[in-house]
Amino acid sequence: MRSAFPTLTPAQVNNYLQEGAAPIGVIPNETFGYGRVDALGALAMIPPPTISGPQGVTIVGGISSPPLPFTIGGTGKLSISVVPSVGSMGAAVSPSTCGNPATSCTLTLTPAVGTTGASTVQVTVTDGANRTQSVQVPVTVTTAAPPTITITSGATQSIVADGTIAPIIFTLTGTAPLTVTPFTNSGSSITFNTGCGTTTMICTANLGSAPASLGPMSVLLNVQDSYGQIATGSATLMITTPPAPTIAITSGGNQSVTVSGTIAPVTFTLTGTAPLAVVTNTNDIGSITITAGCGTTTMICTAILGSAGATAGTSTLALTVEDNYAQSASTSIKITEIAAPGSSAGSTQGGSGGGGGALDPWALLGLSGLILLRVNSSQRKSRTRCAIRTWHRIDSTGPGGTN
C-alpha cells in the first residue's frame, strides 16, 4: 500500500487494512479481530480517482479555446493525460500542479489552422495504483468568419500630378494573422503601419506622391486570413492637372538704354509644378542667358541680356514658362535704344539731295562767319540811328529855345 500510495499515513493504512480484511466470523471479534489480512482488499478500500468535466466546446481552427474547467479527486499523487482523437489538436492542462496537489484544473485546446469537423479529447486521471478514470470531451472545429476590410478615410481623393496622396485608413476584422496585399494601376509603392493585421486591426496605407500621369488611379487592398478567405477594399484617386505656371517680372522691366549700352538684368518669379522650362524670344537682343536652376531648383530667376544694339530703335524680349503638362504663361518687356547726346546715330553724310545729312567742318566754318557778319551789320545800323536821333534833338532846341 505504501509503495502505491506513499503519502498514506499509518492511521490510513490501518483503516484500509481493517476495511479490506477477509472477515472470519462476526467482526470484530476477540480471536480474529477484523479477519484475515487481504492486501488487494485493502487497496480496493482506497477510493478510486474521479474526474468531472470539462464540457464540450466549439472553437475555430488556429484559435485556442477558453480554459475549460474540470475537477479531479483521488488518493495520493494523481496524473493527468489528454489524448485528442486527431493529431492536429494541441492541449494544455493548467496549473502544472494539477493532481499533485491541485484538484481544480483547466484544459485549453488549440486545433491546427485550417482543420474543421468534430473530434474528441479524452482526459484521464490515474492514481498510484494505476487505477484510471476518463472523460470524453467533444470538440467541434469550425472555419473562422471571413475577414472584412472597411476604408474609413481617403477612399476618394483628387490629387494634382506629383502631389502628396493622403494616407488611406482602413479597419480589418477576422482571425489574425491577416495579410494585407496592395495593388495599383500606377505601380506606386504602398507601405502599411507596423502590426497591421496582426497586432492591430486599424491600419494606414501610405502612398507617398501621386504619379505624373493624369487620370484615375485605382488602389485595391486585399486582406487574407490563414484559411484562404479574402476580402477586398478599394479606393479611387483622380490625378489631375496641376495649376498652370505663372511668370512675373519683378525688376528690370521696360528699359531705355543708350545704343550699345548695358541692359540691366531682368529678374522674374515663376510658379508652377517643376520642372519648368523658360523659353526666350527676341527680335534684336543678341545675348540672353538664364541663371542656372531656373524652373527646377529655384523659382526666382534672372535673364542676363548683355548690351543694347548699335542702332536706335526698340527691341522686344518675350519670356515663356512651360510645364510638363503643356501649360504655359508668357510676359514681355521692351528695350528702347536711344542715341547718345550730341550724336545722330544711325544717319549718314549727305549733300543737297540727302536731306538731313551731317555738315562737314568747312561748311560749319562758313556758316559761323556768315552769322558773325550779320551781327556786325546789325550793330552798325543801330549806332547810326542813335546818332541821327541825337543830332536832331540839338538842332531843334536852338540857343535858348525849347522843343
User: Average of pLDDT values for 356-366?
Assistant: 46
By CB atoms closer than 10 A (0-12, 13-18, 19+), residue 361 is exposed
Q: Whole-number mean pLDDT of the chain? A: 84
The predicted pLDDT at position 284 comes to 79
- Architecture of the structural domain at 246-338: Sandwich (2.60)
Residue 258 clears pLDDT 60, i.e. is over it: yes
Residue 31's CB is within 10 A of a number of other CB atoms, namely: 7
Q: How confident is the model at residue 358 (pLDDT cuts 50, 70, 90)?
A: very low
- Tell me the residue ranges of DSSP E strands in 8-77: 50-52, 57-60, 68-73
The predicted pLDDT at position 344 comes to 55
pLDDT tens per residue across span 85-97 = 777 889 999 999 9
Q: How many residues does the chain have?
A: 403
User: Average of pLDDT values for 61-72?
Assistant: 92
pLDDT tens per residue across span 153-167 = 999 999 998 889 999
pLDDT tens per residue across span 192-221 = 999 999 999 999 999 999 998 899 999 999
User: Average of pLDDT values for 23-35?
Assistant: 86
Three cell numbers written together for 43:
487497496
pLDDT tens per residue across span 389-400 = 433 333 434 444
Q: How confident is the model at residue 366 (pLDDT cuts 50, 70, 90)?
A: very low
What percent of the chain has pLDDT above 90? 56
C-alpha separations of 199 from 172, 176, 177, 194, 348 in Å: 11, 8, 8, 8, 92
What CA–CA distance (Å, rounded) separates 104 from 69? 7
Residue 381 clears pLDDT 50, i.e. is over it: no
Class of domain 148-240: mainly beta
Residue 222 clears pLDDT 70, i.e. is over it: yes
H-state helical runs in 21-154? 39-44
Cα angle 250, 251, 252 (rounded to 5 degrees) comes to: 140
User: Domain residues of the chain, as ranges?
Assistant: 10-44, 50-142, 148-240, 246-338
What CA–CA distance (Å, rounded) separates 126 from 50? 9
Q: Which residue has the higher pLDDT, 179 or 364?
A: 179
The predicted pLDDT at position 292 comes to 96
DSSP state of 213: S
Q: Which residue has the higher pLDDT, 2 or 337?
A: 337
Which residue from 332, 298, 292, 302 is spatially nearest to 316, judged by alpha carbons? 332
Three cell numbers written together for 42:
485493502
18 phi, psi to nearest 5 deg:
-65, -45
Pick from 25-34, 104-113, 177-186, 241-250: least confident = 25-34
The predicted pLDDT at position 343 comes to 62
What percent of the chain has pLDDT above 70? 85
Which residue from 221, 211, 215 is spatially nearest to 187, judged by alpha carbons? 211
The predicted pLDDT at position 137 comes to 94
Q: How confident is the model at residue 370 (pLDDT cuts 50, 70, 90)?
A: very low
Strands 230-240, 156-160: pairing is parallel
The predicted pLDDT at position 398 comes to 42
Q: What is the pTM assigned to this prediction?
A: 0.54
Which one-letter amino acid corresponds to residue 401?
G
Q: How confident is the model at residue 346 (pLDDT cuts 50, 70, 90)?
A: very low
The predicted pLDDT at position 280 comes to 95
User: Average of pLDDT values for 231-255?
Assistant: 95
Class of domain 50-142: mainly beta
Q: Which residues pair with 149 in a beta bridge?
A: 172
DSSP state of 186: S
The predicted pLDDT at position 170 comes to 98
